Amino acid sequence: MAVQVVATAASTSESTVKDSLREIGDIGAVAELLLAESAQATLFAEELTITHVYETLDAVAKTTGKGSARDKIARLVGLLSDASPMEAKYILRTLTGQLRLGIGDMGIIDSLALAFAGEREARERIERAFNVCSDLAQVAEVLAKEGLDSMKNIQAAVGRPIRMMAAKKLSDPAEIIEKAGPEVLVEYKYDGERVQVHKDGEDVILFSRRQEQITEQYPDVVDLVRHQIQADICILEGECIAIDPKTGGTRPFQELMKRRRKTDIDRMSEEVPVAVRFFDILFHKGKDVTALPMAERRKLLESIVQSNERVSLTIGEVTDEPERLMEVFTQAVESGHEGVIAKAIHDGSGYQAGSRSWLWIKLKSSYQEGMADSVDLVVVGAIHGRGKRAGLYGAILASAYDADSDTFPTVCKIGTGFTDEMLVELKERLDHHSIGARSPKVISDIEADVWFSPAEVIEVLGDEMTVSPTHSAGRGRLEGGGLAIRFPRFTGRWREDKDPKQATTVADLIELFERQRGSGQ
DNA sequence: AATGTCTGCCCC
DNA sequence: ATTCTGC
DNA sequence: GCAGAATGGGCAGACATT
């Protein structure tokens, strides 16, 4: 849509904008360039005000229904006609959410500290306020109006999401114990959606990892919380997972995602039943309990969660031995879960809202060299890079080999794992094999920017196989579509020893998928 | 009415 | 989600 | 080591198009 806006505003064709975007990799910069080239009208334009820009964007956001796309475009084109090329750049970046200033929430907190306090300590107090209320605008407003001392008045409260604590990752169990020990709580890591549950009597609100309100999606969870949580006012955290009530097993994440809907919620609640595995408590009896050590929070949690088939604590145990940690990890993986999270339980193991510290460490099988399956895939296409990857490829399209039909159906795109240096090498190396159109042997629903004849083979690591609506590998031989790789990344290894027909085959992928499904439920 | 395409301060 | 990189 | 910016699969919803 942004392409259309720029094309219209600069009175040029969409293909011109697309070509330019391909080279520059930034729709804002493209707008700046093209508008400068067609800049007669700006001489007579009105002066742009922030209020006008804001009101226009607000109106665009609120436009819905039939014809809304056309209407949104018209409003934005109107706005750009009053903008200088540079203003257009930032308007485009703002509306596509790609500001690319090197400034995020933490950068803003730094700025607030300097602007309103001017001392180092201020930063921590401001950040703490943000972590417990998750609202940067509110923090800034209170700070500006009432000063640094007012930050202490911003406190955790039921109904207001707390920024979630995250885990580091590590592959070596001995190192994990070293970092978080001497004793750690080793918990199963479930493949579901993280939920922060806020309970005030019968009122229950659910928040997602990014502080979105997701209460409406899980009426069954709300009910479970009302009945199984023996505390009036509290904030808990857990993982919401899709389950098979017959077997008691966990169903794939994709199934759970069918619950992310606004309609048919009651029907889907029956089709995709869920369970919640609680693992933390942040607020209890009207008090913030985040400062309590993990060990004590776990005890408190045990005392208020009344378990049944749908609600329980995460499976976990305390150990100080790397060997035992690995045993629990193996159990978790063998029963179809992602891995484990090892948590510090010592006196300093309070809940650190908004941070990713060594107090929590996750271990997944894909972190263990050799344990996860890497595959050798054929590069069949590429997608132009954006931002700092402008002029290079941002991702490549990769296929397996289907020996039966002698074709190369796609399994994934790969956009991570490349160093800057590799990206340069990648382009040089691949452009050698560039062809004008998709090779008839390449089976792909995905439209690449550049197609290659199947030649280069690379090693790719992934977490697991998923049934895919878009990728074609194995399509027709499985229920539900083809196969794709979840979380694909380049290992850095080119398989120069392999030609395309020696790449991982569709049969290999199906076998991997069946094996993984077998260990699951 | 069916199908295609794009978006989400999306989930992972 | 994973990964790389400038500070 | 942190914070930020690249990028992945895949779901439902909202429109546009046929």
The pLDDT score that the predictor gives to residue A60 is 94
- Claim to verify: residue A381 and residue A351 sit in the same structural domain: no
The pLDDT score that the predictor gives to residue A519 is 76
Distance A323 CA to B8 C1' (A): 43
The pLDDT score that the predictor gives to residue A42 is 55
Judge whether residue A8 has pLDDT over 90.
Answer: yes
Task: Choose one of A48, A65, A96: the last residue of a domain.
Answer: A96
- Claim to verify: residue A267 and residue A358 sit in the same structural domain: yes
Q: Mean per-residue pLDDT for A415-422?
A: 98
Given a contact cutoff of 8 angstroms between Cβ atoms, the answer to whether A432 and A450 are in contact is no
Residue range A379-396, pLDDT digits in tens: 999 999 999 999 999 999
Q: Is the CB of A464 under 7 A from strand B?
A: no
DSSP string covering A85-148, please? HHHHHHHHHHHHT---SS--HHHHHHHHHHHHT-SHHHHHHHHHHHHHH--HHHHHHHHHHH-G
Return the percentage of chain A with pLDDT > 90, whole number.
92
A487: nt with nearest C1' to CA: D8
A110: nt with nearest C1' to CA: D3
Using CA atoms, how far apart are residues A492 and A2, in angstroms rounded to an integer? 34
The pLDDT score that the predictor gives to residue A520 is 63
Domain assignment of residue A486, yes or no:
yes
- In terms of C-beta distances under 8 Å and separation of at least 24 residues, what long-range contacts does A71-79 make, across chains too? A72/A1, A73/A1, A73/A4, A73/A5, A73/A8, A76/A5, A76/A9, A77/A5, A77/A8, A77/A9, A79/A48, A79/A52, A79/A53
Helices (H), A258-293: 265-271
- Claim to verify: residue A208 and residue A74 sit in the same structural domain: no
- Claim to verify: residue A76 and residue A204 sit in the same structural domain: no
Distance A411 CA to B7 C1' (A): 23
Residue range A215-260, pLDDT digits in tens: 999 999 999 999 999 999 999 999 999 999 999 899 999 999 999 9
- Claim to verify: residue A326 and residue A197 sit in the same structural domain: yes
Using CA atoms, how far apart are residues A198 and A237, in angstroms rounded to an integer? 9
Domain residue limits at A67? 2-96
Residue range A338-367, pLDDT digits in tens: 999 999 999 999 999 999 999 999 999 888
The A 51-70 residues near strand B by Cβ under 7 Å are none
Task: Choose one of A368, A402, A421: the last residue of a domain.
Answer: A368
Q: Tell me the β-bridge partners of A482.
A: A468
The pLDDT score that the predictor gives to residue A366 is 86
Task: Choose one of A326, A344, A368: the last residue of a domain.
Answer: A368
The answer to whether A343 is a known catalytic residue is no
Report the mean per-residue pLDDT for chain A: 95
Domain assignment of residue A158, yes or no:
no
A338: nt with nearest C1' to CA: B12
Q: How confident is the model at residue A159 (pLDDT cuts 50, 70, 90)?
A: very high
Judge whether residue A45 has pLDDT over 80.
Answer: no
The A 239-268 residues near strand B by Cβ under 7 Å are 253, 257, 260
Q: Is the CB of A169 under 7 A from strand C?
A: yes
Strand D: which nucleotides have any atom within 7 A of a protein Cβ?
2-16
Return the percentage of chain A with pLDDT > 70, whole number.
98
Q: Is the CB of A6 under 7 A from strand B?
A: no
Domain assignment of residue A161, yes or no:
no
CATH number of domain containing A430: 2.40.50.140
- Claim to verify: residue A145 and residue A268 sit in the same structural domain: no
Q: How many residues does chain A have?
A: 521
- Claim to verify: residue A290 and residue A383 sit in the same structural domain: no
Judge whether residue A167 has pLDDT over 60.
Answer: yes
Could you say which of A18, A145, A168, A189 is catalytic? A189
The pLDDT score that the predictor gives to residue A47 is 83
Using CA atoms, how far apart are residues A90 and A395, in angstroms rounded to an integer? 26
Look at chain A and report how many structural domains it folds into.
4
Strand C: which nucleotides have any atom within 7 A of a protein Cβ?
1-6
Q: How confident is the model at residue A371 (pLDDT cuts 50, 70, 90)?
A: low
The pLDDT score that the predictor gives to residue A4 is 94
Using CA atoms, how far apart are residues A226 and A206, in angstroms rounded to an integer? 12
Q: Is the CB of A420 under 7 A from strand C?
A: yes
Judge whether residue A46 has pLDDT over 80.
Answer: no
- Claim to verify: residue A332 and residue A347 sit in the same structural domain: yes
pTM for the model stands at 0.96
The pLDDT score that the predictor gives to residue A38 is 83
Q: How confident is the model at residue A43 (pLDDT cuts 50, 70, 90)?
A: low
Using CA atoms, how far apart are residues A48 and A490, in angstroms rounded to an integer? 46
Residue of A372, A375, A413, A381 whose CA lies nearest to A503? A375
Of residues A391 and A38, more confidently modeled: A391
Q: Mean per-residue pLDDT for A277-283?
A: 98
Q: What angle do CA A328, A329, A330 make, to 5 degrees?
A: 90
